[in-house]
Amino acid sequence: MSRKLVVTGASGFVGRTLASLLQSNGDSVLGVCRSAGELGFPATTLPSFGDTDALKQPLSDAEVVIHCAARVHVMQDKVTDPLSVFREVNRDLTLKLARLAADNGVKRFVFLSSVKVNGESTSSSRPFRPDDTPAPEDPYGISKLEAEQGLQQIALETGMEVVIIRPPLVYGPGVKGNFASMIKLVEKGLPLPFGAIDNRRSLVGLDNLVDLIITCIDHPNAANQVFLVSDGEDLSTSGLLRRVAEAMGKPSRLISVPAVLLQLGATVLGKKAVGQRLLGSLQVDISSTRERLDWTPPVSVVEGLRRCFETQGH
């Protein structure tokens, strides 16, 4: 039986793949995005993030809303007050949309949050868990936490079910940001100074994240829960670079430089946060996700990277 679903951010990295797959699986999908273009599924265009009035009619027919739209983490933010801008989109729009959904009888609201709600780094012996005390450190993470807290309150007040998913770094065809920068360096065959880095970081391939989102659309055990997600295999920065090079059919040229020197260099260059991400650990424990939803990441890291570069034509 066809489900009636609304996917926000439907022209984005995650939303487009999600909506396309749901449509091909026989669901009735309405995408919501700033500019529709050729998406392959019906879409409502919202030129302004705040113009949610245009969604009243679509929401009146929807059973589930999957909210992927967000102002994403910006490495070099130029705005004078980034927290207020993140809050405007990631918190205020989310809660306005959720209230509207609840008022129109939507049964479940699936929110794509971020592991940054948990924090920026983990020790080698203690990965993040969904019930940890949140400890966001940047405006993006703070705005996502405040959205989560507002959604949980709306769930209590209205009875609409809320599902929260916190992914770490997501990679896949068309990925941007730090992962794309790393791909370019490997593609150029430049020697990279990360051969001695033995950290551990959780990642999630686009296919695995989309699979979990689809599972959360109607799984009874997902209602009003928070889930962490990953590929189930954590990698060091050096290990990831080797896997990326292998998937691209390129040699990995890694030089062993002590982590303390790399972090010092990053700090001197004003890239302290980038250095911490490359050198530090960030792991998530997905055991509760596996157990509660009887879910296993369907795609391995090797296969996820292969698909990524195969699609991009590398």
**CA of residue 56 relative to chain centroid, distance:** 26
The strand ranges marked E within 196-244 are 203-205, 225-228
Confidence of residue 73 (pLDDT cuts 50, 70, 90): low
Catalytic pick from 13, 140, 171, 295?
140
User: Are the C-beta atoms of 10 and 70 separated by less than 8 Å?
Assistant: no
| Beta strand pairing call for 108-112 and 203-205 | unpaired
Q: Each residue of 86-122: b (16+ CB within 10 Å) or e?
A: bbebbbbbbbbbbbbbbebebbbbbbbbbbbbbbbbb
The strand ranges marked E within 47-123 are 64-67, 108-112
Q: How far apart are CA 6 and CA 109, in angstroms?
A: 10
User: Are the C-beta atoms of 107 and 161 separated by less than 8 Å?
Assistant: yes
pLDDT in tens, 1-52: 678 899 988 888 898 899 889 988 888 888 887 766 666 666 666 656 566 6
The region of weakest confidence among 105-114, 152-161, 201-210, 266-275 is 266-275
pLDDT in tens, 90-113: 999 999 999 999 999 999 999 999
Mean pLDDT, all residues of the chain: 87
> What pLDDT is stored for residue 77 in this prediction?
57
> What pLDDT is stored for residue 94 in this prediction?
93
More confident of the two residues 122 and 46: 122
Note the pTM of the prediction, 2 decimals. 0.91
Confidence of residue 314 (pLDDT cuts 50, 70, 90): very low
* Residue carrying structure tokens 């998937």: 247
For the question of residue 171 being annotated catalytic, the response is no
Q: How far apart are CA 158 and CA 102, in angstroms?
A: 7
Start-to-end CA distance of the chain, whole Å, equals 39
| Nearest in space to 66 (alpha carbons), one of 159, 181, 162 | 162
CATH 3.60.120.10 fits 4-175+204-233+283-298, yes or no: no
Close Cβ partners of 249 (under 8 Å, ≥ 6 residues apart): 314
| Nearest in space to 64 (alpha carbons), one of 223, 225, 228, 274 | 223
The region of weakest confidence among 49-53, 120-124, 239-243 is 49-53
Residues 293-301, mean pLDDT to the nearest whole number = 95
**At residue 83, what is the residue type?**
L
The region of weakest confidence among 125-129, 151-155, 211-215 is 125-129
Structure-token pair, residue 290: 């596996």
Q: Each residue of 155-193: b (16+ CB within 10 Å) or e?
A: beebebbbbbbbbbbbbbeebeeebeebbeebeeeeebb
> What pLDDT is stored for residue 109 in this prediction?
97
More confident of the two residues 195 and 273: 195
The region of weakest confidence among 156-160, 176-180, 285-289, 295-299 is 176-180
More confident of the two residues 73 and 240: 240
